[in-house]
Amino acid sequence: MKAVREMGQAELAAYVQSHLREKGIDVILSGGAAVALYTSGRYVSRDLDFVNRYFARRPAITQAMEDIGFKESERHFEHPDSAYIVEFPPGPLAVGDQPITEIEEVPFETGTLRLISPTDCVKDRLAWYYHSGDRQCLLQAVLVSKAHTIDLADVRRWSVAEGKLPEYEAFLEEIRDKR
């Protein structure tokens, strides 16, 4: 097994997640780290956002993280040998009001990484754009869309349910402009 200081972001995510799973804590990677993975590093994120699927108690997460050398600092965890921080945003695992059910699995030497699908990653980034006006998240959604086949009909249905059809159209324009 690699030392933590030698692990890339995805390897570290797989390591942390596999350890938590051994402790009965089910988390799924989302956010910027998923974007980084799906864009082969074209987008850089310095954190790992793991959504706590079944609402494991914070003390259990803290103990499990301490077992592998992480220390809690405010709302995130840090390891002395890693530049990445680990956060546990509250569940449920969803984009807007839509639960996420499709989970991807990617094997690494350090464990199996479970993360949201590319289509759900796009919706996750678009949610920030739709509801917070975050253009950087729009561009992240475009990057993932360029790197993977995305179910645009699903993204459109979700966007309509979010009341954001004009913003979805802006996303489509960005995809067309960037191709």
Considering the chain, what percentage of its residues have pLDDT values greater than 70? 99
Average the pLDDT over 114-131 and give the result.
97
Instruction: Please determine, for residue 177, whether its predicted confidence score (pLDDT) is greater than 80.
Output: no
Distances (CA, A) of 123 to 4, 32, 106, 147, 178: 31, 12, 20, 15, 18
Give how far the C-alpha of residue 149 lies from the chain's centroid of Cα atoms, to the nearest Å.
17
Mean pLDDT of 106-118: 97
pLDDT over 60 (residue 64):
yes
Amino acid type, 10: A
CATH of 4-116, one of 3.30.30.60, 3.30.565.10, 3.30.460.40, 1.10.3470.10: 3.30.460.40
Domain parsing of the chain, residue ranges: 4-116, 119-178
Residue 24, pLDDT score: 96
How would residue 96 be classed by pLDDT, with cut points 50, 70 and 90? confident
What is the predicted pLDDT for the residue at 179? 52
User: Phi/psi at 50 (nearest 5 deg)?
Assistant: -110, 115
* Measured distance CA(74)–CA(153) in Å, rounded: 40
